[in-house]
């Protein structure tokens, strides 16, 4: 039997009926048309499904939609404001951190939570923050460089 | 991968949760973080007709210091919260360290200590840490309440003493004595996202900063059907003067406490040798932390 | 080096903003009204006769719209090489591995489809199975394909020069054996496709593929659809690396279900099914000998390969040839003998994966070079420098190294890594190792015998606005080929990159063999350049007529037009343009005529501006059997130096540092090239240290998940010092050639050589788990 859930997705209040066995990933992709979060493995091994739930990045394939009731979800679609890329997104574009792009939304969201928490992370802290997001294309280096550049950019705008 | 169908319940009090458990017994599974349960359900290993969520039960995720002499960790506290907690890092290091090594940052944001303990996987990260901290788990059912030492909690792969109608509410730990220090080491293939090939938790208590060993507790994961204590090594260490040599001997002794298997992650022979190395190193680390103990 | 305006820059990729915002569309992101979901029925047994398939219960399940087996699908044989078409879409008489496809269903939703799969009852009679490539060759082993006795799928025997005689003359001959394990490409996006027929019977297949062209042909052939009615479209793809280089049962069964139901049908592999499908890296056994003179000159190589191919052929013929042919370089040799066997086993089929058949044998050979250097007391870097080929050399097996910056690569990594200060001077437990490698820049011949162009490109310039549309069947799977083609077009036309739009991956647009054998930069690049040149010439022709000047006096740069290097008197053209755009608030201005105006003029003169470019390599290679495999118009090459730390008590290996130099001829996009280098090294590191597909005694995969099949995480992969070498390839567009696969060649041996340097243990079996190294050190310690 379906349950009515109410949550905030990318700043917007959403109300929907979901089946208990529907994951948050399925709900976002299939019910809400937010296909930016990806399905890579379904078992929490790859991180392609990463979304930010109540300020924490999680594998949305291992969260039931009903568990997100009353919560706040941020997906990759919620980052750019008024068509302007978030500094992390811009840094990923500028630094060549995106090849096939399948891991990208998850990487960006893991990075965002890190920088929100820790505006001047060390390289090890960056690598640890994204250690649950697998990438097969880039070897991670340009992703790390992008997060470093984004940290600088964010710091820069705040100071000025 | 699809989840099978089930009925979902979200009780808003502990009493309601216990009542549901009582009614459904073996047909129900509790879900806290879900990172173990949902994986097992997708793999068709578990097929509960009912899933009871603890999300709305208040207080289950709190980490509460008690009277300066102890801490009570809510069973639904996440591995992430545990790994970052100042008091736990300071006085209860093996637990905080083990929590920081569990899975990945994404998993740690959801995985709970209760889940990690109750699932009873032999290679789990948190059980050995809880064992060397002499933690006790508070288990409640709709009719009763009991406390079980984590050293008596595990029975076999996936098997613990918890009954189908019981819920783990909290894990309570007495503050270790002065001049105590702990460590947690894990061996896997990659640097993260690993299920242990071997893991070791240690708690050492010295008589004074430069004193002999007052107490030693060692526990191993992934080297037996359930996490085990290394009592023989512990007894050997007590009263002795700490040294690299002593720790090496304790490592050798520890091998005898374990009965690792050969599986596709590693052979028995290698695991035994790694028990020796990791125990020696964990003791060394715990010793350094013990010496650095501050009131 | 010539100065370019756009080539060699670090232009951000065209598709990056869409991917950064979640707007890029991958197949699984697409929905269509009435779309059904399909699921596959696969054998749970490794080798069995099919006695009966009962689909009746599945057909009765509400929501099931179609069920197909070999009966409905037919038995058209297919594969990759026409010489070895040994598969049918569905197994009909027997199944040959756990995962072999038996049937497929289409239903209204995923749950129903999966339930229907469970309801299909297949009666099997289990047959003895064989899982080991050596056991499979023995007398009495279960025969997997009746036509292939001894389970030998393919056999190669090649000799160049007189090898035994040459070896006999050598001062030293060193022997070596090597074994890797079957691997998986582990792209993060599982195979997915959607098939939909229009009401005129024309198919569009959207698929996560690297090769729309080959998929189109195979689908047309197997599903018996006129080839002109098959259109394959590749949306964004989440990685390929080889296994997505052939038509899959996923695609073909989805097509048949779409035809049967009259509805769009989608099917995706689960991660487990990706492992079962495989078509990834073979297991290779290598046995080789290197003969040298005492001054270190390489003379002769004897090379043997045994490949575990799994149940069918896939790319396997090419694979077993590559294991031999790719040892022809990059060192000068007087003689080479190669004997290769690819063996069938009852396991998922292996195919092509980054570096194809070259990776394992390159690893073995580069260890052999180090072993030989050590015996002679020669530094490993010096040993390479002494023997490497140079631009213009021909290998003993007729591979033409038209450009080869191998020496520059070796020297670059030697200097940048600080080799001289480290080699022999590091403490125990720390090591430094080096290796070289090279790879084709596009296979010299298409997979099917044909005179077809390998790449055609259409360029259409918008009738107004000067937008350059590059239309190409080529496949960008993340490596950045769309951006590269845009850069080629922009460079040739003298327009800014922002003026170029690329539409790609659609078989309706043009023929392109796709993203495999690292071919697109060179081949699609040539076709793009030619198309751009042609269309530039058209515009120039009309401008020259209008301006009454010599066409050769007209140049384009940065979107502006220069007449004899100056602005020229173009007032009339501009006035007409502005008159045509009365009311616009952004008329062209500036001192120079713009490309936009020039293109508009050309349109007004001749109509829509379209040009085509095309490329196929000249006949390449020798005349011996199998000479085609290994041929290429160009070869990229690579040298790497790796530093490792080994925990001597546990055997754990940490790769601390990697220095990589790759010769790509002429850098098109520097950032993308570095990305390919770093990605290749990460895959090589994973294959060396962690990756292995494991089977139980019944042929079932034990670790069909990304949790238990371990690819490097961000904490496992170090930073790479990437150095781009440019040798200016004469056969490449603007001198460009490959980077995507050449860069992985040296990685495994560089790590292995570093581990040897750190520990004295020479590991010749992958993956080098901590246990494997620990045990090897222990054994060594006992001697």
* DSSP helix/strand/coil, C6: coil
**Contact criterion met (CB < 8 Å) for B270 and C270:** no
CA distances (Å), origin B205, targets A109, B30, B133, B237, B238: 42, 37, 11, 11, 9
- Span B64-97, pLDDT tens digits: 998 877 999 999 999 999 999 999 999 999 999 9
What confidence tier does B257 reach under pLDDT thresholds 50, 70, 90? confident
* C382-435 pLDDT tens trace: 999 999 999 999 999 999 999 999 999 999 999 999 999 999 999 999 999 999
**Dist. CA C466–CA C493, nearest whole Å:** 11
Q: Which residues of C touch A23 (CB under 8 A)?
A: none
Q: Chain C neighbours among B 64-93 (CB < 8 Å)?
A: none
Neighbouring C-beta atoms of residue C455, cutoff 10 Å? 30
Q: Comparing C-alpha atoms, which of A89, A82, A87 is closest to residue A36?
A: A89
Interface contact flag, C713 B190, Cβ < 8 Å: yes
Averaged pLDDT, C353-360: 96
The interface residues of chain C toward chain A in range 460-489, judged by CB-CB distance below 8 A, are: 477-480
Among B185, B2, A151, which Cα is nearest to C268's?
B2
Tell me the backbone φ, ψ of residue C297, rounded to 5 degrees. -70, 125
- Is C47 in a helix, a strand, or coil? coil
pLDDT score for C782: 66
3 state SS of C150:
helix
Whether C702 and B192 lie within 8 Å, measured CB to CB: no
The whole model's pTM is what? 0.97
CB pairs under 8 A between A and B: 84
Mean pLDDT of all residues in B185-203? 91
Q: Which two tokens stand for residue A158?
A: 């705040």
Residue C428 tokens, joined: 């125990």
B189 and C270 within 8 Å at the Cβ level: the answer is: no
Q: Is the pLDDT of residue A160 over 50?
A: no
Element (H, E) at B94: helix B93-100
CB contact under 8 A, C707 and B195: yes
Q: Which domains does chain B have, with CATH numbers?
A: 7-53 (3.30.43.10), 63-174 (3.30.465.10), 195-291 (3.30.390.50)
- Give the burial class of C540: count Cβ atoms within 10 A of its Cβ; 0-12 exposed, 13-18 middle, 19 or more buried: buried
The β-bridge partners of B219 are B201, B229
Q: What whole-number percentage of chain C has pLDDT above 90?
A: 98
CB contact (8 A) between residue A135 and residue C26: no
| Chain B residue closest in CA terms to C649 | B277
Map A21-90 to HEC letters.
CCEHHHHHHHHCCCCCCCCCCCCCCCCCCEEEECCEEEEHHHCEHHHHCCCEEECHHHCCECCECCHHHH
- CA–CA gap between residue B72 and residue B74 (Å, rounded): 6
Measure the CA–CA gap between B40 and A43, rounded to whole angstroms.
Answer: 9
Does C478 contact A99 at a Cβ distance shorter than 8 Å?
A: yes
Q: At residue C1, does pLDDT exceed 60?
A: no
Helix (H) or strand (E) holding A157: helix A141-159
Asked if C691 has any chain A CB less than 8 Å from its own CB, the reply is no
- Across-strand partners of C615? C455
**Looking at CA atoms only, how far is residue B250 from chain A in angstroms?**
33
Q: What is the pLDDT of residue B228?
A: 94
Concatenated DSSP letters of C440-493 = ESS-SS-SSS----SEEEEEEE-TTT--EEEEE----SSS-HHHHHHHHHHHHH
| CA gap C424, C413 in Å, rounded | 17
pLDDT at A159 over 70: no
The set of chains that have 3 or more CB pairs under 8 A with A is B, C
Q: Please answer yes or no on whether B8 and A66 come within 8 Å at the CB atom.
A: yes
For chain A, say whether B110 makes contact (Cβ under 8 Å): yes
**Chain B neighbors (3+ CB pairs < 8 Å):** A, C
Are A42 and B51 in contact (CB < 8 Å)? no
Q: What is the predicted pLDDT for the residue at B98?
A: 97
**Is the CB of residue C70 less than 8 Å from the CB of residue C20?**
no
C692 at the A interface (CB within 8 A)? no
B195–C652 CB contact, under 8 Å: no
Model pLDDT for residues C288-303, shown as the tens digit of each residue: 999 999 999 999 999 9
- Contact residues, chain A, for C480 at CB < 8 Å: 99
Asked if residue C336 lies in contact with residue C327, where contact means CB atoms within 8 angstroms, the answer is: yes
Check for a shared fold between C16-23+453-615 and C358-445+630-782.
Answer: yes
Contact between B38 and A133 using a beta-carbon 8 Å cutoff: no
Interchain contact, B2 vs C703, CB within 8 Å: no
The DSSP string of B106-144 is HHHTT-BHHHHHHT--TT-SHHHHHHHTT-EEEEE-SS-
**Nearest CB to C710; choose among B190, B266, B278:** B190
Q: Does B6 touch chain C (CB under 8 A)?
A: no
- The pLDDT tens digits of the residues spanning C188-232 come to 999 999 999 999 999 999 999 999 999 999 999 999 999 999 999
Task: Name C105's bridge partners.
Answer: C39, C67
C523: phi then psi, degrees, rounded to nearest 5: -80, -55
- Across the interface, whether the CB atoms of B273 and C702 are under 8 A apart is answered no
Closest residue of chain C to B271, computed from CA coordinates: C771
The alpha-carbon gap from C149 to the nearest alpha carbon of chain B, in Å, equals 32
How do beta strands C36-42 and C265-268 pair?
A: parallel
Residues 6 or more apart in contact with residue A130 via CB below 8 angstroms: A107, A110, A111, A114, A140, A143, A144, A147, C714
Give residue-wise pLDDT tens across range C264-296.
999 999 999 999 999 999 999 999 999 999 999
C549 pLDDT above the threshold of 90? yes
Optimal mutation site among C115, C117, C649, C711, interface B, most CBs of chain B within 10 A: C649
- Closest residue to C649, CB basis, from B104, B270, B277: B277
What are the residue boundaries of the structural domains of chain C, listed by start? Answer: 16-23+453-615, 31-127+188-239+244-277, 358-445+630-782
pLDDT-based confidence at residue B171 (cuts at 50, 70, 90): very high
Q: Which two tokens stand for residue C415?
A: 């200097």
The rounded mean pLDDT for chain C is 97
Between chains, do C270 and A77 touch, taking CB under 8 Å as contact?
no
Q: Residue C536 burial (CB < 10 Å; 0-12/13-18/19+)?
A: buried
User: What's the gap in Å between the CA of A64 and the closest CA on chain B?
Assistant: 8
Minimum-distance CB partner of A92 among C20, C270, C674: C20
Q: What is the CATH number of domain C358-445+630-782?
A: 3.30.365.10
pLDDT tens by residue, A82-108 = 889 999 999 999 999 999 999 999 999
CA distance B246 to chain C (A): 17
- CA–CA separation, C252 and C73 (whole Å): 9
Residues A49-70, mean pLDDT to the nearest whole number: 98
User: In chain A, what are the domains?
Assistant: 3-78 (3.10.20.30), 87-159 (1.10.150.120)
Q: Do B266 and C690 touch (CB under 8 A)?
A: no
**Touching C: which chains, 3+ CB pairs < 8 A?**
A, B
| Residue C601 CB coordination number (10 Å) | 23
The hierarchical CATH code for the domain C31-127+188-239+244-277 is 3.90.1170.50
| B193 vs A contacts (CB less than 8 Å) | 45, 131-132
Two structure tokens written together for B29 = 């599974």
Answer yes or no: is pLDDT of C783 > 50: no
**C711, C690 in Cβ contact below 8 A?**
yes
3-state secondary structure C82-149: HHHCCECCCCCCEECCCCCEEEEEEECCHHHHHHHHHHCEEEEEECCCCCCCCHHHCCCCCCCCCCCH
User: Does A56 contact B107 at a Cβ distance shorter than 8 Å?
Assistant: no
Q: Residue B67: its pLDDT value, please? A: 80
Token representation of residue C254: 């989805």
- By DSSP bridging, strand C455-461 and strand C609-615 are antiparallel
Q: Would strands C283-292 and C94-95 be described as parallel, antiparallel, or unpaired?
A: unpaired
- For A114-134, the pLDDT digits (tens) are 999 999 999 999 999 999 999
Position C780 scores a pLDDT of 84
- Reduce the secondary structure of C722-754 to three states and give it as a string: EEEECCCCCCCHHHCCCCCCHHHCCHHHHHHHH
DSSP string, A104-129: HHHHHHHHHHHHHH-SS--HHHHHHH
Chain B CB contacts of C114 below 8 Å = 2
Residue A47 distance to chain B (closest CA, Å) = 8
Whole-number Å distance between alpha carbons of C727 and C738: 12
Residue C482: which of C493, C492, C471 has the closest Cα? C471
B189 inside 8 A of chain C by CB: yes
Residue B107 forms contact with A (CB below 8 Å): yes
Predicted ipTM > 0.95:
yes
Q: How far apart are CA B230 and CA B220, in angstroms?
A: 7
Chain B residues in contact with A20 by the CB 8 A cut-off are: 5-8, 51
Q: Which of A101, A126, A139 sits opposite C679 (nearest CB)?
A: A139
Q: Can you tell me the distance from the alpha carbon of C377 to that of C387, in angstroms, rounded to the nearest whole number?
A: 16
Which residues from chain B sit within 8 angstroms of residue A21, using beta carbons? 2-6
Strands (DSSP E) found in chain B: 7-9, 28-31, 50-53, 63-66, 70-74, 136-140, 145-149, 154-156, 159-160, 167-174, 180-187, 198-206, 213-221, 228-229
User: Which residues of chain B have a CB within 8 Å of the CB of A50?
Assistant: 106
Of C186, C675, C707, the CB nearest to A99: C675
pLDDT at C543 over 80: yes
Is some CB atom of chain B closer than 8 A to the CB atom of A133? Answer: yes
Q: Please name the residue of chain A whose CA is at the shortest distance from the CA of residue C29.
A: A35
Chain B, nearest residue to C652 by Cα: B189
> Tokens 């399940």 — which residue?
C61
Q: Does B43 touch chain C (CB under 8 A)?
A: no
Question: CATH for C16-23+453-615, among 3.40.120.10, 3.40.50.10420, 3.10.450.40, 3.30.365.10?
Answer: 3.30.365.10
């Amino acid at each position: 039997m379906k349950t009515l859930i109410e949550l905030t997705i990318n700043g917007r209040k959403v109300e929907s009926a979901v089946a208990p066995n529907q994951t948050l990933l399925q709900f976002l992709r299939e019910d809400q048309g937010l296909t930016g979060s990806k399905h890579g493995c379904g078992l929490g091994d790859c991180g392609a499904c990463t979304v930010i739930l109540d300020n924490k990045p999680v594998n949305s394939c291992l969260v039931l939609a009903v568990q997100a009731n009353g919560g706040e979800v941020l997906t990759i679609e919620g980052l750019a404001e008024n068509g302007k890329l978030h500094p992390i997104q811009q840094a990923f574009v500028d630094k060549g951190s995106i090849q096939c792009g399948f891991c990208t939304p998850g990487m960006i969201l893991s990075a965002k939570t890190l920088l929100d928490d820790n505006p001047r992370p060390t390289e090890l802290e960056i690598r640890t923050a994204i250690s649950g997001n697998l990438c097969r294309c880039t070897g991670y280096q340009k992703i790390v460089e992008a997060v470093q550049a984004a940290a600088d950019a964010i710091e820069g705008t705040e100071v000025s | 991968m699809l989840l099978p169908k089930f009925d979902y319940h979200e009780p808003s009090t502990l009493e309601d949760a216990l009542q549901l458990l009582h009614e459904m017994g073996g047909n129900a599974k509790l879900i806290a973080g879900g990172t173990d349960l949902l994986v097992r359900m997708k793999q068709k290993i578990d097929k509960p007709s009912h899933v009871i969520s603890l999300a709305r039960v208040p207080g289950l995720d709190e980490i509460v210091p008690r009277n300066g002499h102890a801490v009570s960790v809510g069973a639904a506290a996440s591995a992430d919260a545990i790994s970052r907690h100042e008091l736990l890092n300071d006085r209860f290091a093996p637990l905080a360290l083990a929590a920081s090594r569990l899975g990945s940052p994404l998993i740690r944001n959801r995985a709970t200590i209760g889940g990690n303990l109750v699932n009873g996987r032999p290679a789990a990260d948190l059980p050995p840490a809880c064992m060397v901290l002499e933690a006790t788990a508070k288990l409640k059912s709709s009719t009763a309440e009991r406390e079980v030492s984590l050293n008596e909690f595990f029975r076999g792969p996936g098997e613990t003493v918890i009954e189908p109608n019981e819920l783990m509410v909290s894990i309570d730990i007495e503050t270790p004595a002065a001049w105590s220090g702990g460590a947690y080491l894990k061996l896997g293939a990659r640097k993260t996202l690993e299920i242990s090939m071997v893991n070791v938790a240690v708690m050492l208590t010295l008589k004074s900063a430069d004193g002999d060993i007052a107490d030693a507790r060692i526990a191993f994961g992934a080297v037996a059907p359930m996490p085990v204590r290394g009592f023989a090594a512990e007894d050997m260490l007590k009263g002795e003067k700490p040294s690299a040599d002593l720790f090496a001997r304790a490592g050798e002794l520890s091998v005898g406490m374990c009965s690792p298997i050969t599986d596709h992650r590693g052979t028995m022979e290698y695991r035994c040798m790694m028990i020796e190395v990791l125990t020696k190193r964990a003791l060394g680390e715990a010793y350094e932390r013990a010496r650095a103990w501050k009131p | 080096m010539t100065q370019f305006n756009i080539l060699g820059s670090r232009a951000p990729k065209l598709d990056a903003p869409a991917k950064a915002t979640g707007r890029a569309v991958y197949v699984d992101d697409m929905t269509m009204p009435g779309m059904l979901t399909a699921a596959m029925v696969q054998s749970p047994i490794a080798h069995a006769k099919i006695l009966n398939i009962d689909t009746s219960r599945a057909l009765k399940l509400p929501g099931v719209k179609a069920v197909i087996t070999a009966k409905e699908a037919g038995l058209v044989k297919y594969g990759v090489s026409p010489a070895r078409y040994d598969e049918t879409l569905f197994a009909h008489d027997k199944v040959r591995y756990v995962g072999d496809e038996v049937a497929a269903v289409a239903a209204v939703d995923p749950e129903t489809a999966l339930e229907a799969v469970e309801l299909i009852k297949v009666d099997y009679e289990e047959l003895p199975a064989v899982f080991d490539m050596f056991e499979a060759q023995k007398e009495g082993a279960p025969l997997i394909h009746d036509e292939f006795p001894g389970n030998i799928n393919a056999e190669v025997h090649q000799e160049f020069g007189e090898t035994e005689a040459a070896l006999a003359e050598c001062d030293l001959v060193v022997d070596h054996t090597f074994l890797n394990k079957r691997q998986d490409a582990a792209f993060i996006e599982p195979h997915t496709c959607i098939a939909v027929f229009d009401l005129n019977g024309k198919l569009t297949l959207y698929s996560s593929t690297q090769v729309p062209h080959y998929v189109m042909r195979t689908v047309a052939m197997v599903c018996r659809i006129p080839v002109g009615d098959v259109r394959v479209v590749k949306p964004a793809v989440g990685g390929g690396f080889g296994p997505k280089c052939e038509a899959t049962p996923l695609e073909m069964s989805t097509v048949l279900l779409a035809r049967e139901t009259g509805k769009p049908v989608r099917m995706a592999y689960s991660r487990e099914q990706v492992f079962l499908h495989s078509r990834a890296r073979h297991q290779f056994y290598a046995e080789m000998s290197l003969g040298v003179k005492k001054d270190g000159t390489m003379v002769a190589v004897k090379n043997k390969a045994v490949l575990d191919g799994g149940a069918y052929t896939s790319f396997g013929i090419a694979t077993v040839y590559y294991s031999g042919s790719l040892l022809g370089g990059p060192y000068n040799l007087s003689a080479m003998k190669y004997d290769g066997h690819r063996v069938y086993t009852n396991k998922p089929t292996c195919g092509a994966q980054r570096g194809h058949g070259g990776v394992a044998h390159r690893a073995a050979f580069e260890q052999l070079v180090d072993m030989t250097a050590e015996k002679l007391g020669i530094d490993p870097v010096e040993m390479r420098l002494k023997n490497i080929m140079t631009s213009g050399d021909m290998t003993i097996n007729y591979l033409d190294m038209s450009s080869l910056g191998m020496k520059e690569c070796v020297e670059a990594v030697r200097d940048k890594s600080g080799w001289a200060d480290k080699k022999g001077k590091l403490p125990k437990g720390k090591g430094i190792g080096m290796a070289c490698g090279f790879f084709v820049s596009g296979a010299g011949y298409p997979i099917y015998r044909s005179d077809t162009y390998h790449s055609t490109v259409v360029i259409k310039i918008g009738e107004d606005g000067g937008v350059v549309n590059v239309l190409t069947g080529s496949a960008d799977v993340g490596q950045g080929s769309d951006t590269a083609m845009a850069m080629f077009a922009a460079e040739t036309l003298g327009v800014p990159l922002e003026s170029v739009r690329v539409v790609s991956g659609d078989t309706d647009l043009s023929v392109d063999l796709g993203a495999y054998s690292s071919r697109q930069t060179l081949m699609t690049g040539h076709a793009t350049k030619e198309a751009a040149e042609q269309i530039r010439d058209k515009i120039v022709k009309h401008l020259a007529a209008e301006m009454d000047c010599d066409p050769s006096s007209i140049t384009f740069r940065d979107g502006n037009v220069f007449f004899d290097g100056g602005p020229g008197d173009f007032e009339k053209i501009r006035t007409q343009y502005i008159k045509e755009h009365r009311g616009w608030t952004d008329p062209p201005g500036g001192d120079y005529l713009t490309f936009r105006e020039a293109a508009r003029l050309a349109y007004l003169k001749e109509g829509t501006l379209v040009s085509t470019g095309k490329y196929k390599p000249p006949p390449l290679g020798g005349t011996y059997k199998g000479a085609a495999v290994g041929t290429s118009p160009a070869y990229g090459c690579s040298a790497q130096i790796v530093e490792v730390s080994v925990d001597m008590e546990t055997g754990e290996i940490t790769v601390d540092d990697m220095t990589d130099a790759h010769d790509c001829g002429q850098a098109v996009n520097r950032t993308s090239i570095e990305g390919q280098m770093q990605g290749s090294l990460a895959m090589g590191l994973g294959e060396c240290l962690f990756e292995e597909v494991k089977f139980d005694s019944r042929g079932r995969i034990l670790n069909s998940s990304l949790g238990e099949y371990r690819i490097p995480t961000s904490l496992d992969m170090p930073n790479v010092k990437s150095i781009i070498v440019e040798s200016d390839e004469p056969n490449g567009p603007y001198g460009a050639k490959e980077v995507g696969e050449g860069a992985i060649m040296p990685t495994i041996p560089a790590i292995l050589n570093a581990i040897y340097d750190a520990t004295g243990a020479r590991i010749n079996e992958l993956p080098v788990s901590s246990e494997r190294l620990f045990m090897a050190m222990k054994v060594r310690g006992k001697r």
